[in-house]
Structure 1
Amino acid sequence: MTYAENLWLFSLLLAGIIVVPGMDMIFVIANGLTGGRRAGIAATSGIMLGGAFHTLFGTIAVAALSTFVPQLAGPMLVAGSAYMIWIGYTLAKSAIVIDGIEASRLYRTARIFTQGLITCLLNPKAWLFILAVYPQFMRPEYGAFWRQALVMGALTLLLQALVYGGLAFAAARGREALVSKPAITIWIGRAAGWLLMAVAVLVLIEGWRSW
């Protein structure tokens, strides 16, 4: 697999995960609904900073394991792929909707930013996802880990900005635009699940061969 193909797979996988409604998305929508664009953008910015921390953590973990325990590379690929397939299967069978978001009082921009950061950092699924995904897409043959981390981190921030930022602006325009058609969000989640499983199977095959 070339580096360009590797990045395409990573981008598809990342996009599929980000568009699935979860803690981060609901936090952005809630603040956009109650505090307008400024609050929604502050929430998005906090979550993006959390994403940067996740990238740093994933890079350090992959670099450490590759340097000190290189024989674990194959097993990590297989285990991580199996975990991704399980997540994809769960999403494909799910019925996630954006609903039940209650109004809350308006917080200051700085406070919302901090809350967004904490929300992202305290999301256990995000940490597990990083541990499962980064060892599969960050490889020594693609160059220095820090360069790969910059690219993967930039892609993460870009997709978060597009998805969560877009939702922040949409939420500021009105709640009905987001929750009047729950079937749409259900099928987004399920499609993301199938996409996740497809990518994971491809990576599993490669990981098995390298092992």
Structure 2
Amino acid sequence: MSYAENLWLFTLLLAGIIVVPGMDMIFVVANGLTGGRRAGMAATSGIMLGGAFHTLFGTVAVTALSTLVPQLAGPMLVIGAAYMIWIGYTLAKSAIVIDGIEASHLNRTTRIFAQGLITCLLNPKAWLFILAVYPQFMRPEYGPFWRQALLMGALTLLLQALIYGGLALAAAKGRDALISKPQITIWIGRAAGWLLMAVAAMMLVEGWSGW
């Protein structure tokens, strides 16, 4: 697989995961609804900073695997791919909807930003997902890890800004549409699950062959 193909797969997978309604999306929608554009964008910015921390964590983990304990790289690829398949399976069977979003009473932009960061950092699934995904896409043959991390981190921030930022700017209309038509979010979640399983299956085969 070429580096360009690797990046396309990573971007596709990342976009599929970000659009699945979860803690981060609910936080952005709630603040966009109750505090307006500034509050929604502050929430988005905090979550984006959390995404940057996740990228740093994933880079350190992959670097440690490849340099300190290289014999673990193969098993980690297999374990990570299997975990991704499990996440995809649960999403494909899920019925995720956005409903009952509680209003945020944060008034200051800085407080909303800080809470967005904390919301992102305290999401255990995000850390596990990073540990599963980054070893699949960050490889020594693609060049220095720091350069790969910069590009993957930039893609993460860009997609978060486009998806969460766009949702924050149209929070009221977007929330009404998603709540009145729950099938939309259900099928978004299921489609992301099938996408995740397909990519993970490819990585599982590659990791198993390398191991």
Query: What SS does the aligned partner of 1:103 have?
Result: coil
Aligned residue in 2 for 1:7: 7
1:87-106 deviation per Cα after TM superposition (whole angstroms, max 9, x unaligned)? 00000000000111122324
Aligned residue in 2 for 1:139: 139
Are the counterparts in 2 of residues 171 and 178 from structure 1 also a CA contact under 8 Å?
A: no
Aligned residue in 2 for 1:84: 84
Matches within 5 A, 1:43-54: 43-54=43-54
- The answer as to 2:163 corresponding to 1:163 is yes
Aligned residue in 2 for 1:111: 111
Structure 1 residues 68, 101: CA separation in 2 closer, same or farther (over 3 Å shift)? same
What runs of 5+ residues in structure 2 fail to find an aligned partner? none
Distance 1:174 1:192 in 2: 19
Are the counterparts in 1 of residues 81 and 200 from structure 2 also a CA contact under 8 Å?
A: yes
Q: CA RMSD in A?
A: 1.0
Distance 2:143 2:161 in 1: 27
Distance 1:68 1:27 in 2: 38
TM-score by length of 2: 0.97
Aligned residue in 1 for 2:151: 151
Structure 1 residues 174, 61: CA separation in 2 closer, same or farther (over 3 Å shift)? closer
Matches within 5 A, 1:1-211: 1-173=1-173, 175-211=175-211
Query: What SS does the aligned partner of 1:95 have?
Result: coil
1:177 Cα deviation from its structure 2 partner:
3.0
Identical aligned pairs, as a percentage?
87
Count of aligned positions: 211
What runs of 5+ residues in structure 1 fail to find an aligned partner? none
* Deviates further, 65-74 or 184-193: 65-74
TM-score by length of 1: 0.97
